[in-house]
Amino acid sequence: MVLDEESKQRLKERFSNEMKRKIELITFVDEDPEKCPLCKITKEFLMELDGLSEDIEVKIHRVDSDEAKKFNVSRVPTILVDPKSGYKIRYTGSPLGYEASAFIETIINVSQDDSKLSEESKKKLKDLKEEKHVQIFVTPTCPYCPHAVLLANRIAIEAKGKVTSECVEAVENQDLAQEFNIQAVPFQVINGKPSSVGVQSESKFVDDLTV
């Protein structure tokens, strides 16, 4: 059991009160614990969420499946948040530790189809012409990372189909972290180029994407 009973009850009430429609969490794993030490606990966490709400449906696939090829997934664990509705929100690595809170908020926001962004941000994102891929590198022990990830996810909700938000767990994906020589998190990368380090304000983050 990943969640304690108190947390389960609290989440069950939130999902019941706040979720507006059913969403899918499409998850890719490798059953070999040596290849993916955190796949088992990630599956357990997601299935516990699945059991707390009829509006959450978890689908598990192997990383060598046709479904993985369809969504261009090669790392494990990877979680796609409601991709069939057109959202491009991806977790490359486990959404555990501090990241669990932003993951829960993202699930609720997607089910509401509501980014919760300011009207100014919405206006700027509406004019976004080219697609953007935002990667937020995080670690499970970083208390500031969830804010950055949630903001990126909310931007991806608002700019549906135009912005890909990817939370990358740096410890589980050290090769990617080394590629950008990451020394501190949260670390933002936009279209393969380092953008900023640390938590950015909503207006700064949106400007980085739209200028």
pTM above 0.85, yes or no: yes
Summarize the confidence of residues 139-151 as an average pLDDT: 96
pLDDT digit string, tens, across residues 149-162: 999 999 999 999 99
pLDDT digit string, tens, across residues 92-132: 999 999 999 999 999 999 999 999 999 999 999 999 989 99
How far, in whole angstroms, is CA 89 from its chain's centroid? 5
- Please calculate the CA angle 99-101-106 and round it to the nearest 5 degrees: 95
Confirm if 188 and 138 have CB atoms less than 8 A apart.
Answer: no
Amino acid 200: pLDDT:
95
Confirm if 138 and 167 have CB atoms less than 8 A apart.
Answer: yes
Amino acid 1: pLDDT:
84
pLDDT band, very low/low/confident/very high, at 211 (cuts 50, 70, 90): confident
% of residues, the chain, pLDDT over 90: 97
Amino acid 167: pLDDT:
98
Can you name the CATH fold of 5-210?
Answer: Glutaredoxin (3.40.30)
Q: What is the DSSP string of 99-141?
A: HHHHHHHHHHHHHHT-----HHHHHHHHT--S-EEEEEEE-TT
* Alpha carbons 169 and 138: distance in angstroms, whole number: 5
Block residue for tokens 């501090």: 98
Q: Tell me the C-alpha to C-alpha distance, in Å, between residue 133 and each of 30, 42, 55, 208.
A: 25, 24, 28, 12
* Alpha carbons 49 and 148: distance in angstroms, whole number: 23
**Does the structure show a pLDDT above 90 at 190?**
yes
| DSSP secondary structure code for residue 142 in this structure | -
Look at residues 101, 73, 74 and name the one whose alpha carbon lies nearest to residue 88.
Answer: 73
Task: Give the pairing type, strands 193-197 and 187-190.
Answer: antiparallel
Structure tokens at 205: 């983050």
- The number of beta carbons lying within 10 Å of the beta carbon of residue 160 is 16
Looking at this protein, which amino acid is placed at residue 206? V
pLDDT digit string, tens, across residues 36-80: 999 999 999 999 999 999 999 999 999 999 999 999 999 999 999
Summarize the confidence of residues 82-90 as an average pLDDT: 98
Mean pLDDT for the chain overall: 97
% of residues, the chain, pLDDT over 70: 100
Summarize the confidence of residues 6-11 as an average pLDDT: 97
Look at residues 206, 172, 13, 189 and name the one whose alpha carbon lies nearest to residue 108.
Answer: 13
Structural domain spans, the chain? 5-210
Does a cis peptide bond (omega within 30 degrees of 0) precede residue 186?
yes
